[in-house]
Structure 1
């Protein structure tokens, strides 16, 4: 099930990450090794396979330098379930807040959705054939013994379906089948029956009721209720979309989905714990908020060490989930984490602050570069946008300077700068700037529109 990384060596994984993330080679190397080790473990001798534990990674670096993006892209490369949580959202057991086990449940939910999507794709062709028959029955009901199918409530054309003429009816149905396949009837309206939720969302209250128990009770009650259907009059194009989802869901085996999803989450899941420094105790006084922070760490510890968590899809073991923690560590230090938790993140990676040259490359080279995003947005209006190299250099310089003067928020500063630069153009298209226009962003335009950002030392309105 980890075939997607079978042919990717650590160097190739880094090359894939390079397409989206500039710099941070040390972090990329470490996550690439961690990812390849997943495949190595799954192909190791069975006698030692369960003993090989992942080397969890602690990323240290300011905001906006690429910590989250590295983890997210890594999961995409591996086709692995991924969930991001913020450690500061958790609170010690007994206080109001999220339970630490919820991050594992979120991961399993993500895994189930991934497997379900894959399975639906596999049965798509079969489901499409079933949907075609449903649509055809709604247009021209089949004749059985000279009469329409009992219980049919769709639209029918009496001229197209003479009574007691089975062969003519079949020929007419085949003609309409061809029309459906050729897309000639997409706007024609038909009446279909679709399943609706048998009961609205409900809360279950009780003493000591945890999240997993509540979800299981809701699912059990929902399963006991009869399935309801309702009629809807929609176009054939809409009907196909609605029914394809419904029929594909009927064709997949949910027990198989759950089993595969739990395996996938346990063996290839990635949990990214951000802001871990916010729950690190910066002092050893043992009172006040530091006690609560240490409590969160102690709640996180068994999950990261390896334990079993109940989810509505079954029990999941966290022994081989890869945990990547990250934090700026401006105030607290990694050594302020409790020793047991430090030991569960043996790989330490320090990410570098972004330089002016990094900003320039971020604007120019990644597949998802901001400049490419704006080009695509305006291309939707048939307006061609391009950036002169000197303009990109100036944008990078301004972003770097603003970060130095105010607060360093890394690559996120580019969003502010680019928005300020292009907002007038985005507003004027298509009213003042029509289709087929070609706009070139020059260094002069950048200086004219962004000079006040550099002059204004307060810069309060530009801080994200």
Structure 2
């Protein structure tokens, strides 16, 4: 409880805007911490992000004329296409969504229409702005929540008021209650009420299961649900919980009351418009088939629907109209059975920057296992440490794991770096199972251990297809 209550006086700050200090070289260095190789792709996205900052420095007239240069990433699965875009968004604190092109259908057909990706981006942007603005009012929210929690722990007597002139209590009663309340406040900070249960009334936020308009009408559906929720009384329920948990809920409730929702929506729309990143995966799946029967509705039609959004259009959302002119679109695809030139010419023209990502080699796998900040070897070692087990890998074991991953990718489906996870899971299966009984032990895996566990599966091609 001490941690949750005693920080009332601390000042929390929202994430720092680093866009001005992030030069292309610095962006690439940051991406290098998590992604091995693929320097051409890193360079392209770094320039695209820096151009956003450059655009913000221009005069208003010229700023509207400068559009982002959308990027088409070409490369097999598991080489880092999505991860590059996701890390870029996190680095720049930009709203980011990933969508699959194959999930959308042409207007007039059953399925999600392409404008829904823009609406999803706005929803995500609103959530980001809301969390940041909650940090700005955190100090006030915590102070108000602390007072409410004190009221629950020590209910005020009838007639009590903080203002002595308006209080129905005599001065002695007022002083006695105030002293007791101050004592309780000190106990809260010391954590003495951590195990005390209180009963609070909370709003029931369970989502409605009523689908008003059906598939493809997401935005209208949301608007009607909003209207119904405003008309109908809000459901509340009483719950008993420990004081620290109650404090967290009260802080959230108080923070929401302090938020200026109009400002939140305005900032969310502006951020989505100017800083949003939409990653369209599997774009090769919407390449039209070579056919004499005319255009393929489910493929070419989706491309044509995407054109105005990628080029710049106004999309109506539940929070207002958003322009897509300055949203950065990054599309990606493996292009195994199709070529980028199979996309309709107009769509190709909306993605002027093309980057080909390299297939991963055995040497790349070695680096992926050890170099990134979130390297798999480090992850598994930390997971086992929670059980009191020290797990480490010899250099020869790393090389053997990388070699086996490359072999399986070559013989079966090439799934890139994702193969490392399947290999590691199979390798550590027994250790993970026995770990709770291996406290205070140390294990160093060698190449021999790796071969002993995996060589039979690797050699049997049919078996490796199913297990790895």
Asked if residue 418 in structure 1 is aligned to residue 428 in structure 2, the reply is no
Matched residue, 1:321? 327
Deviations for 1:278-304, whole angstroms, at most 9, x for unmatched residues? 00024153437x343111111111111
Matched residue, 2:191? 183
Matched residue, 2:174? 166
- Give matches, 1:392-407, under 5 Å: 392-407=398-413
Q: Which of 236, 250, 253 does residue 243 from structure 1 map onto?
A: 250
Matched residue, 1:265? 272
- Distance of 1:126 and 1:236 partners within structure 2: 19
Matched residue, 2:444? 440
* Superposition deviation, residue 2 in structure 1: 9.4
- Distance of 2:78 and 2:319 partners within structure 1: 35
- Distance of 1:199 and 1:102 partners within structure 2: 20
Matched residue, 2:238? 231
Q: Which of 371, 381, 391 does residue 387 from structure 2 map onto?
A: 381
- Give matches, 1:289-438, under 5 Å: 290-431=296-437, 433=438, 435-438=439-442
* Superposition deviation, residue 146 in structure 1: 6.6
Matched residue, 1:457? 461
Q: Identify which range, 220-229 or 401-410, moves more after superposition.
A: 220-229
Matched residue, 2:144? 130
Matched residue, 1:20? 34
* Superposition deviation, residue 44 in structure 1: 1.2
Matched residue, 1:152? none
Deviations for 1:77-119, whole angstroms, at most 9, x for unmatched residues? 1100100000111111222211111111111111111111111
Q: Identify which range, 362-371 or 161-170, moves more after superposition.
A: 161-170
Count residues in correspondence: 448
Deviations for 1:328-380, whole angstroms, at most 9, x for unmatched residues? 11111111111111000000000000011000000010111111111111111
* TM-score normalized with structure 1 length: 0.92
* Superposition deviation, residue 162 in structure 1: 12
- Distance of 1:286 and 1:313 partners within structure 2: 42
- Distance of 2:235 and 2:104 partners within structure 1: 39
Tell me if the contact between 2:213 and 2:220 (Cα under 8 Å) persists in the aligned partners: no
Matched residue, 1:80? 94
Tell me if the contact between 1:143 and 1:166 (Cα under 8 Å) persists in the aligned partners: no
* Superposition deviation, residue 277 in structure 1: 0.4
Tell me if the contact between 2:17 and 2:93 (Cα under 8 Å) persists in the aligned partners: no
Tell me if the contact between 2:19 and 2:50 (Cα under 8 Å) persists in the aligned partners: yes
- Give matches, 1:132-151, under 5 Å: 132-143=146-157, 145=159
Tell me if the contact between 2:110 and 2:216 (Cα under 8 Å) persists in the aligned partners: no
Tell me if the contact between 2:95 and 2:121 (Cα under 8 Å) persists in the aligned partners: yes
- Distance of 1:461 and 1:22 partners within structure 2: 28
Q: Identify which range, 134-143 or 411-420, moves more after superposition.
A: 134-143
* Superposition deviation, residue 163 in structure 1: 12
- Structure 1 residues 294, 427: closer, same or farther in 2, change over 3 A? same
Deviations for 1:174-194, whole angstroms, at most 9, x for unmatched residues? 000111112110110112222
- Distance of 1:304 and 1:415 partners within structure 2: 35
* Superposition deviation, residue 221 in structure 1: 1.8
Deviations for 1:38-92, whole angstroms, at most 9, x for unmatched residues? 1111111222100100000000000001100001001001100100000111111
- Distance of 1:298 and 1:199 partners within structure 2: 35
Q: Identify which range, 183-192 or 268-277, moves more after superposition.
A: 183-192
Matched residue, 2:7? none
Q: What SS does structure 1 have at the residue aligned with 2:335? A: coil
Q: Which of 44, 55, 60 does residue 69 from structure 2 map onto?
A: 55
- Distance of 1:229 and 1:439 partners within structure 2: 53
- List runs of 5+ in structure 1 lacking aligned partners: 149-160
- List runs of 5+ in structure 2 lacking aligned partners: 1-14, 163-168
* Superposition deviation, residue 211 in structure 1: 2.2
Q: What SS does structure 2 have at the residue aligned with 1:324? A: strand
Runs of 4+ residues deviating >6 angstroms? 161-164
* Superposition deviation, residue 145 in structure 1: 4.1
- Structure 1 residues 198, 448: closer, same or farther in 2, change over 3 A? closer
Tell me if the contact between 2:198 and 2:240 (Cα under 8 Å) persists in the aligned partners: yes
Q: What SS does structure 1 have at the residue aligned with 2:129? A: helix
- Structure 1 residues 74, 66: closer, same or farther in 2, change over 3 A? same
* Superposition deviation, residue 225 in structure 1: 2.4
Q: What SS does structure 2 have at the residue aligned with 1:281? A: coil
